[in-house]
């Protein structure tokens, strides 16, 4: 109980502070436009009335938290899932490409890590290029991928998944390399003493030792995969998805819709990271690991 309280109180305090700061900046940024509206209408509202107006504009520069919360609630729970305005619908479209890209990225990262650990030439030649690959801005890479895959009539979900793969394979590869190399020399010598083959050493020692590193890196990878899927929806001309929702909101200056879509993306990320963390704990528990 004390442990739960120690976790909830700091998070709640920081969240409350962020909401207060958010309201402050909403008033500050929306005030100039509201003054201009009042001047044109010949009105001189009092402080309280003026404050209320800055926090209730239909297209504010920075929407207030209650405006975003209301929009998020309406578009999540009050609309049909099949509706183009439903955040659940847009979230599912993005989630599908996120999960596919995450699966591709995890598989690719593990394969690269195994190769780097077992082949010295790959360690010296491939790892530097993997690191360099992450310096390329994803927003610049996405149109190139779309252009290259266009002549092959590649499904949109695969195109977005490949862009997600580009972001998600790196943390898995780095984490798995560290995990596969984590066994101590004493344990490796013991396997050698037992005349264990390279395959037996890999499956019975290196793989179990790498599991905590794998799931830790997968938390980063699945969040990166979501970012890749959202970014991929911007240049593909997608009409559905969180990225498409952000783009449409920007075209029509619907700042409240934009922020609600951002919150939806954050919720999806929290759920995905939580699911990976839960899966990691279950796997470690099944392997005889002790809870932290």
* pLDDT at residue number 236: 64
Q: What are residue 235's phi and psi, to 5 degrees?
A: -90, -5
Do 111 and 55 have their domain in common? no
Instruction: List the one residue out of 163, 185, 289 whose CA is nearest residue 229.
Output: 163
What per-residue confidence (pLDDT) applies to 139? 77
How is residue 86 written in tokens? 């439903």
- Which DSSP letter does residue 181 get? T
For residue 222, the model assigns a pLDDT of 94
| 82 within domain boundaries | no
- Domain membership of residue 30 as a residue range: 2-62
Instruction: For residues 145 and 184, state if they share a domain.
Output: yes
Q: How many domains does the chain have?
A: 2
pTM of the model: 0.84
pLDDT for residue 224: 92
Q: Which of 134, 140, 199 is nearest to 170 (CA)?
A: 134
Is 80 contained in some domain? no
Q: Which pLDDT does position 158 carry in this prediction?
A: 82
* pLDDT < 50 positions in the chain: none
The two structure tokens encoding residue 218: 């997968």
Question: In this structure, what CATH number is given to the domain that contains residue 118?
Answer: 1.10.3720.10
Residue 133 lies in a domain: yes
- Cβ-contact 126, 112 below 8 angstroms: yes
């Amino acid at each position: 109980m004390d442990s739960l309280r120690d976790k909830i109180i700091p998070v709640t305090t920081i969240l409350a502070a962020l909401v207060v700061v958010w309201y402050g900046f909403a008033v500050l940024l929306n005030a100039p436009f509201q003054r201009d509206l009042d001047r044109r209408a010949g009105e001189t509202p009092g402080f309280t009335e003026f404050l209320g107006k800055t926090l209730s504009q239909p297209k504010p520069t920075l929407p207030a938290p209650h405006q975003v919360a209301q929009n998020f609630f309406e578009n999540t729970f009050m609309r049909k899932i099949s509706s183009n305005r439903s955040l659940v619908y847009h979230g599912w479209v993005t989630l599908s490409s996120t999960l596919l890209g995450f699966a591709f990225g995890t598989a690719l990262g593990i394969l690269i890590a195994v190769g780097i650990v077992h082949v010295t030439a790959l360690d010296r030649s491939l790892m530097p290029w993997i690191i360099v690959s992450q310096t390329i801005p994803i927003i610049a890479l996405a149109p190139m991928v779309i252009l290259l895959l266009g002549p092959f009539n590649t499904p949109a979900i695969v195109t977005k998944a490949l862009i997600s793969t580009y972001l998600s394979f790196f943390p898995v590869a780095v984490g798995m390399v560290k995990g596969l190399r984590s066994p101590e020399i004493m344990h490796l010598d013991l396997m050698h003493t037992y005349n264990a083959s390279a395959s037996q050493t890999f499956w019975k020692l290196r793989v179990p030792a790498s599991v905590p590193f794998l799931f830790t890196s997968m938390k980063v990878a699945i969040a990166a995969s979501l970012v890749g899927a959202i970014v991929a929806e911007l240049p593909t001309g997608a009409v559905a998805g969180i990225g498409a929702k952000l783009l449409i909101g920007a075209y029509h200056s619907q700042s409240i819709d934009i922020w609600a879509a951002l919150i939806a993306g954050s919720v999806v990320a929290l759920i995905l990271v939580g699911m990976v963390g839960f899966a990691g704990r279950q796997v470690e528990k099944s392997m005889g690991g002790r809870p932290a």
